[in-house]
Structure 1
Amino acid sequence: MFPLTHLLIHPAALTLWDKTSGTWINVATILGGTLIGLVLTESLPDRMQRIITQGLGLLTLFLGVTLAGSLLKVKAGQIDGVIIGLLAIVLGGLLGEWWRIETQLQKVGNWLRDLVKGGGNFTEGFVAASLLFCIGPLAILGSLNNGLSGDHALLSIKSAMDGLASIALSSSYGIGVGFSSIAILLYQGGLSLCAGFLAQVLPDPANAPQVLLTSGVGGLMIMGLGLNLLKITQLSIAAFLPALLLAPVFCTIAQRLG
């Protein structure tokens, strides 16, 4: 996992920019990467655009497998992390289907598409990029670190990765990828601003079983995104989003049951 830096500055002394600087950097790299991808789309033939997307799909699949391995590192009470992850992903998926989260996200994407008169695969790009950029430990740990100490080092690393991914995604899906920056702003910015409260609940987020389980479940979802990008199948990844909330809840319950 990625270590958090020690808190050197009292949170009350930090400005709004200090707490959210990494998120704004992330937004900028996504927008910049999208712009580059759109330019490349005009100059590269379809077969090369397809290769770029396949390369991103393979890397996404690898990252997902790596993150999913976090499930093997956790044992809450007498229950293995894999079992908790399974319960979270299945029940979370059922809830997501019941609440029609995938449909709601697509509606948001369609609304944005109509608002800016986007075309092509706008909604698909918005949904895929939003999920890819928001799921994962760097988003959580980087936002907490930024909000607690003003240090945006972890989010800067994530920003570079997201910027490169934006180039590949936008070359296939178009301008919708850039609008995923709205999801990043709301999600990471919100985590950074709530970092003080979350630090009281999880004094050591980098090693907390709840975070490891959330990362592991997120890894399973990222694996699904990789399969979608490779067009091996078409999974409803957004439907599994409730699993990211259920994983730490189930972990806490298992710990208390002993």
Structure 2
Amino acid sequence: MLGTFFNVLMIMIGSTVGSVFKKGIPDKANHALMTAMGLAVMMLGINTSVQKMPHSQYPVLFIASMALGALIGSLLDLDDRFNRLLARGKGGSQLGQGLSTAILLFCIGTLSIVGPMEAALHQDYTFLFTNGTLDLITSMVLASTFDIGIILTAPVLLCWQGSLYLLAKLLQGAISTPLLTEISIVGGVLIFASGVNILGLAKIKTLNLLPALLIPPLFFLGMSWFH
């Protein structure tokens, strides 16, 4: 849970700092920080996938996972549903809009989903430390607009990532090393895509790709039925 506590702390610090500088974070500083984070996230994604690929027992599984995941995500219209949820807050109070936006941004992302799993299964906090740094910047920007109330998203994130952490711990005996390898490869690709979005190099609907993380477990479950 160390990585999650770090992530929560970063949101609390970012919200506090952002509320102090209510006039907003300078555009140049914000752009520089997001560029640095975008590059870091891209390299993290590349490193994760490249390290795991030589150990894959099914080299084309990640390609099939990405294709099927994208198809499922597009049919479910996950990205547009997410954007509509963000837009819905505009009709409510300013704080309500800020909180709904922050909760979705902090919780629904590859790093925030894969991070607790990696921490639980491998004691690897890299994803959560990276996510915490990104959330520090994001919470600063949001709090500079919506004030200190953004700090209320911290306990929500704690519950979200804590639940994923505990779930991964409970299922640890049922999760094999080959399965984790395939999930990590897909997760690395999705993290790279997130970095591309942060840098503004392309508009990738990463939420539509999230179902790709479910394909390797389903594949291994199907394989087990034939053995």
TM range (shorter): 0.7 to 0.9
Query: How big is the shift at 1:110?
Result: 3.5
**How far, CA to CA, are the matches of 1:52 and 1:21 in structure 2?**
24
Q: Does 1:212 align with 2:181?
A: yes
Matched, 1:109 2:86: yes
CA gap of 1:159–1:228, structure 2 versus 1, over 3 A, is closer
TM-score, normalised with respect to structure 2: 0.76
Q: Tell me the residue number matched to 1:86.
A: 63
Asked if the contact 1:92–1:242 (Cα under 8 Å) also holds between the matched residues in 2, the reply is yes
Of 239, 244, 251, the residue aligned with 2:213 is: 244
CA shift, 1:69, in A, is 1.6
Q: Secondary structure at the match of 1:232?
A: coil
**Counterpart mapping for 1:69-84 below 5 A:** 69-76=50-57, 79-80=58-59, 83-84=60-61
Change (3 A) 1:53 1:171: farther
Cα 1:222/1:126, change in 2 over 3 Å: farther
**2:45 corresponds to 1:45:** no
Q: What is the identity, as a one-letter code, of the residue corresponding to 1:67?
A: T
Q: Which residue of structure 2 lines up, in the alignment, with residue 7 of structure 1?
A: none
Q: Which residue of 2 aligns with 1:67?
A: 48
- Asked if the contact 1:140–1:191 (Cα under 8 Å) also holds between the matched residues in 2, the reply is yes
How large is the Cα RMSD of the aligned pairs?
3.7
Task: For residue 118 of structure 1, report the CA deviation from its aligned partner.
Answer: 4.8
Deviations 1:65-120 (Å, cap 9, x if unpaired)?
111224413333xx32xx10000011001000101111222233344565552599
Percentage identity across aligned positions?
A: 21
Cα deviation for residue 154 of structure 1 reads 5.0
Q: How far apart, CA to CA, are the structure 2 residues paired with 1:132 and 1:124? A: 17
> Cα distance, 1:160 vs. partner?
4.4
Q: Does 1:134 align with 2:123?
A: no
Corresponding residue number in structure 2 for 1:189: 162
Q: Specify the code of the residue in structure 2 equivalent to 1:47.
A: K
Distance 2:161 2:10 in 1: 14
Deviates more, 1:123-132 or 1:211-220: 123-132
C-alpha distance in structure 2 between counterparts of 1:119 and 1:234, whole Å: 27
Structure 1 gaps of 5+ residues are 1-19, 146-152
- Higher alpha-carbon deviation: 102-111 or 92-101: 102-111
Judging changes above 3 Å, is the alpha-carbon distance between structure 1 residues 183 and 45 closer, same or farther for their aligned structure 2 residues?
same
Give the distance between the partners of 1:231 and 1:46, measured in 2 at CA.
15
Map 1:170-189 → 2, pairs under 5 A: 170-171=139-140, 181=154, 184-189=157-162
2:199 alignment partner in structure 1? 230
Q: Which residue does the alignment assign to 1:200?
A: 173
CA 1:210–1:168 in structure 2 vs 1: closer, same or farther (change >3 Å)?
Answer: same
Distance of aligned partners of 1:224 and 1:21 in 2 relative to their CA distance in 1, 3 Å threshold: closer
CA gap 1:59/1:195 in 2 versus in 1, 3 angstroms: closer
Is this contact kept in 1: 2:25–2:141, CA < 8 A? no
Aligned to 1:3: none
